[in-house]
Chain A
Amino acid sequence: MAEESDKKPKLEVVQADGADEGCVTFVMHDEDHTLGNSLRYMIMKNLDVEFCGYTITHPSESKINFRIQTRGGSPAVEPLRKGLNDLHEVCQHVLNTFQARVNEFKERQDQPME
């Protein structure tokens, strides 16, 4: 369901033994290509990121493994946070533009009738 209980964490962090904090796999529960691909795009646009990719572990499991490797070992959490913030900002801009255009269109449609 869309609303998850608070018991299950939505985000987990997996790190190989001895790996630095720049090479991290994030497990995002209840996510798929919708967030995975758009977030991957935003994070790959980041200059600090060497690699970013995701996989859907199995069709019957609703989770994705989201991998980030940074340049120079800076923490992988930072590009993730920046990616999410950027994506949120992009959506906000799309939303504002869409609503403005739709309102304009509706006004234009109303005018010739009168």
Chain B
Amino acid sequence: MSTLDARRVKMAAVRDNVEEIRSRVILGEFGVKNVHTTDFPGNYPGFDDSWDMKRFQKNFRIDVVHLDESSMEFDMVGIDAAIANAFRRILLAEVPTMAIEKVFIYNNTSIVQDEVLAHRLGLIPIKADPRLFEFKNTGEESAEDEASEIDTIQLQLKIKCSRNPRASKDSSDPRELYLNHMVYSRDIQWIPLGNQADVFADSCIRPVHNDILIAQLRPGQELDIVMHCIKGIAKDHAKFSPVATASYRLLPEITLLEPVEGEQAERLKRCFSRGVIDLEDVRGKKVAKVVNSRLDTCSREVLRHVDLKNLVKLGRVRDHFIFTVESTGILPPDVLVTEAIQVLMAKCQRLLGEMDSTDME
């Protein structure tokens, strides 16, 4: 090989290595390599890393994998972790919902203390579209203390436990002996304020789940409670969070560096989650093949096998985010993601607006 050829091979190798550092997170035996985003201008000679909207729009894509009324999974490809993480953080803490904020207890003779009861009520998800309400002004005291139809939902829980007159004499089952001894979220009644009865006629406001146990009563005990729901965000209190969970993971990538056969292939298959590695029959020999690396949990088990660890390369694709969003049921998950993106846009817009108005000196 001539020196020129050798140089060209070396250059290509360096180029491949840089490409790997830029686009993959490497799972090594003793740690994770290349964790941070490094594709900034000036970091790599020969790469144009300045921001290019056209390039972003060309490379960006979203694939919806699963969508139903309570959860969704989608792939977001070609975006940086900083922005994907912003969406995730906003989903968790900054998409507004309606939740019980004020509890007026007129009577509570149950064994649940008033403050515990109030806290339990606050955590019940309320099915009401927060986009149709305004934030309540908390800034000025007393001036805007009245609940109004644009910012408040009023709910009532009025229930009393009594003996069941039709229970058989020798029964010891509380379900038969008493009436109303279990207070569920379904017992909460909506009291429309102002024109709410007309506005929300076709989408009745109620708790998302009917079977949340609030308290247990015995004959003679009663609850008489009025609640006010307001619009809020989970930064203030976790009860306002619209999601049960919102998370992403990077797409795993498994590369076999050499053919793996026979017993080794069997062992390799067992190192990964089911469905990741398949064994193919090639002339009577079992040969391992990566069929679906997406299913892997990235356990790195394979790196504990001395003879296998140098046959595979474990990595994750830096800009391929597999999002999972589980809604609490107040809004569908696709609406939540849409809302989250709009929240980030609103943040930008508000700063831009402020820059224009103050003119920055």
Contacts and interface: CB of A to CB of B under 8 A. Distances in A.
Chain B contact-residue range equals 35 or more
B53 interface: yes
A20 interface: no
B311 to A, nearest CB: 36
B346 to A, nearest CB: 9
A34 B86 contact: yes
B62 A41 contact: no
A104 B63 CA distance: 10
A104 B138 CA distance: 42
Interface stretch (B120-128, B241-249, B349-357): B349-357
Contacts of A3: 135, 137
Contact of A99 (B51, B233, B338): B338
A1 interface: yes
B74 interface: yes
Chain A contact-residue range equals 35 or more
Contacts of A13: 360-361
B67 A2 contact: no
Majority-rule SS of A interface residues: helix
Interface stretch (B77-85, B165-173, B192-200): B77-85
B50 A87 contact: no
Interface of B: 37, 40-41, 49-51, 53, 56-57, 60-64, 67, 74, 76, 79-80, 82-83, 85-87, 89-90, 94, 96, 135, 137-139, 232-233, 235-236, 334, 337-338, 341-342, 344-345, 347-352, 354-355, 358, 360-361
Interface of A: 1-3, 5, 9-11, 13, 28, 31-35, 37-38, 40-42, 44-47, 77, 80-81, 84-95, 97-99, 101-102, 104-106, 109
